[in-house]
Amino acid sequence: MQGTVDPVLLKKIEALRKSLHYHNYRYYVLDDPEISDAEYDRMMQELIQLETSYPELSSPDSPSVRVGAPPLDKFETAVHSLPMLSLDNAFGNSDVLDFDRRIKRFLNTGENIIYTAEPKMDGVAVEIIYKNGKLVLATTRGDGIRGEVITSNIKTIRSVPLVLREEKNEKIPSLLEIRGEVFISLDGFKRLNRDRLAGNLMPFANPRNAAAGSLRQLDSKVTAKRPLEIFFYGVGNLTDVEVPSHWDLLCLLKEMGFRINPLIRPKITIEEVLDFYKELSEKRNQLDYDIDGMVIKVDDLSMQKRLGATSRSPRWAIAYKFEALQETTRVLNIEVQVGRTGTLTPVAHLAPVIVGGVTVSRATLHNEDEIERKDVRIGDSVLVQRAGDVIPEVVKVIESKRTGKEKKFTMPHRCPVCNSGVVRLEGEAATRCINTNCPAQIKEGIKHFASKGGFDIDGLGDKLVSQLVDKGLLVSYADIFHLSMEAIESMERMGAKSAENLLLAIEKSKKISFEKFLYAIGIRYVGEHVAGILANEFQTLDRLMQASREDIEAVEGLGPVVAESIVRFFQQKENRDTIDRILDSGVKIISKGPRKSGKLRGKIFVLTGTLETMTRSEAKEMIESSGGKVSTTVSRNTDYVVAGGLPGSKLDRAKNLNIEIIDEAALKRMLSSGQ
Ligand code: IVH
């Protein structure tokens, strides 16, 4: 076979593979790509094409294996050569100080112990084995002794190196058993569940279940489509390498091509560990992935060896868990709320319970199918969860606490607010009130219109909107601009001063960007992100109103459902009249003008860390629509680095290169003055 291989072709394929491995490393491990995604994709396509035409040249370590292998009938299992242990838990500072004292006693030393502290990823533990630098086997943790073989699935994860990097004359170990945690980011999880719902599939309960389910697929082509990521945190057997500390080991692993969590705090005292815990638990909500605590590890490897392990867990490490974001409580009642689009959402009223420091007395049950699936009944004891700043939800019923007195809930056949009929369309999870004049829909629509992402009218709160609608003073959001001083003043708890302030806020809101306007008018499927894309592409309301389904669908990032919804919205005379009334009352839509003429024209931005009021893609969208560019790499050409919470290494680089560092608020100021 070898004799028939064209050496030029082979060289070409090998060069492509090498290059793709390198760019993978830059992107996933260093978070510092050198080439654009498009260029990467072109190289990958070229490689896949060559390998398909010449199957005799395919290789198990080719970057193209990321697309998945043929399906399996069942998982094989394999024994871990060193067991994958668990960790002991600490629940308070005193447990951690006890741990530190125990270690000192065991090592018979009075000196301070140096630790490395790591976020404890809430994902799935795996072990991956490399022989002579090549990935040969990957397994789940299983019961700690024996795990399932998931090699093809692991290979689909882009941040897992298929071959180890050779650098600085460092010897490639003949055996490396590396361990890490596979996870799905919160953003990836949201997208995955959105796609599943759209495809009528059951959504995953949480990112960890989604990661576990994705890893345990017999068909790795399915796994390849899931947004799996990994951070590595330790090793089993490792030959040919001598390092003195855990932190040195992690640095070496990074050089070899493994992705290491940038938040790890190396070489700190036990007091600093406690400070870091506080810092991390406060920033936990801003991270784009779930962590459930911190792992504290003795840094010195010779000390680790002396400390050893019990049959269950090592003596040199402990998990310091965060406060639970789940609690149990009782469902007192289930009521139905009617939203802006008429969707009936069942909400559980709970016996108040403190979850992660916040009192929770209501939790969403999403829709009829969810209630059925979880079989939540009035009177049930349930597990509730609060994650980030999202609405608390019921995770599951604690069936063992059932008494038989619980009452089943049925979705009402009439809208609980206006008593009109409700419908549930084929293929939709939501039940909707069909009356577009339903006061609940009107109130929610007005609140949305006046919210921060829309007209941002200060002082037009929920209670006031509710009263104004009930009194017939607001029938549509266009009426906001026709409210009189007398009308506002006649509302409960409204003095002359607050009425005056509200009128000023309404006046001020009349200058609005096109994208905020589009968001405010409440077209179905047009959230802040889609509104941004539309504003960028169509620039003016007239152009968008004249656009056809095809015109809208042709825009990158928009699909047929959005296109259909927009065209329908503008076809309805009632909607066009409402818009005319808004514009007649003096509202001015400020278009940003073509991309290239924005205030930020030619300016290059790099984003690092977690932004609080916008996602990264929203920030990128906004910068680009003001004429700026967003790059992933900090270089001398960078004009500004926008640093959010827990910024990465890009911030250090920016400091070194003397590049101006701004925060999110400063970025927003630049954007609003750029419009
Ligand atoms: S070290 C001997 N480091 O936590 C065990 N584990 O309860 C050494 N985990 O199964 C584990 N993040 O899946 C370690 N930074 C981290 C971790 C981590 C998450 C998980 C891991 C392990 C479990 C232990």
Closest Cα to atom 23 of ligand 1: 86
Closest Cα to atom 21 of ligand 1: 125
DSSP string, 588-645: EEE---SGGGSTTTT-EEEEESB-SSS-HHHHHHHHHHTT-EEESS--TT--EEEE-B
234 lines ligand 1 (CB under 6 A): yes
For residues 456 and 493, membership in a common domain is answered with yes
For residues 499 and 543, membership in a common domain is answered with no
229, 287 Cβ separation under 8 angstroms: no
For residues 500 and 551, membership in a common domain is answered with no
Lowest mean pLDDT across 19-28, 479-488, 580-589: 19-28
Nearest ligand 1 atom, CA 120:
12
484 lines ligand 1 (CB under 6 A): no
Tell me the mean pLDDT in the region 5-18: 91
Which of 74, 120, 131, 573 is flagged as catalytic?
A: 120
Domain that holds residue 503: 439-509
For residues 554 and 454, membership in a common domain is answered with no
Q: Binning pLDDT at 50, 70 and 90, where does residue 530 land?
A: confident
Distance 87 CA to ligand 1 centre (A): 7
Structural domain includes residue 74: no
- In the three-class reduction of DSSP (H, G, I as helix; E, B as strand; rest coil), residue 280 is classed as helix
- The dihedral formed by the CA atoms of 330, 332, 334 and 336, expressed in degrees to the nearest 10: -120
Distance 233 CA to ligand 1 centre (A): 8
Structural domain includes residue 25: yes
Per-residue pLDDT of 139-185, as tens digits, reads 999 888 999 999 999 999 999 999 999 876 678 999 999 999 999 99
Per-residue pLDDT of 551-602, as tens digits, reads 998 887 788 888 999 999 999 999 999 999 999 999 999 986 554 456 787 7
The total number of structural domains in the chain stands at 6
314 lines ligand 1 (CB under 6 A): yes
d(C-alpha 520, C-alpha 526), whole Å = 9
Structural domain includes residue 429: no
Tell me the mean pLDDT in the region 493-522: 94
**pTM, 2 dp:** 0.59
For residues 265 and 371, membership in a common domain is answered with no
Is 190 noted as a catalytic residue in this protein?
A: no
Q: Binning pLDDT at 50, 70 and 90, where does residue 226 land?
A: very high
Domain limit, last residue, from 414, 447, 462: 414
pLDDT at res. 675: 38
For residues 154 and 268, membership in a common domain is answered with yes
Domain limit, last residue, from 305, 321, 337: 321
For residues 173 and 226, membership in a common domain is answered with yes
For residues 233 and 362, membership in a common domain is answered with no
Per-residue pLDDT of 603-661, as tens digits, reads 889 998 888 888 777 888 788 878 788 887 787 878 999 998 777 778 888 888 889 99
For residues 601 and 579, membership in a common domain is answered with no
Distance 390 CA to ligand 1 centre (A): 27
644, 651 Cβ separation under 8 angstroms: no
- In the three-class reduction of DSSP (H, G, I as helix; E, B as strand; rest coil), residue 378 is classed as strand
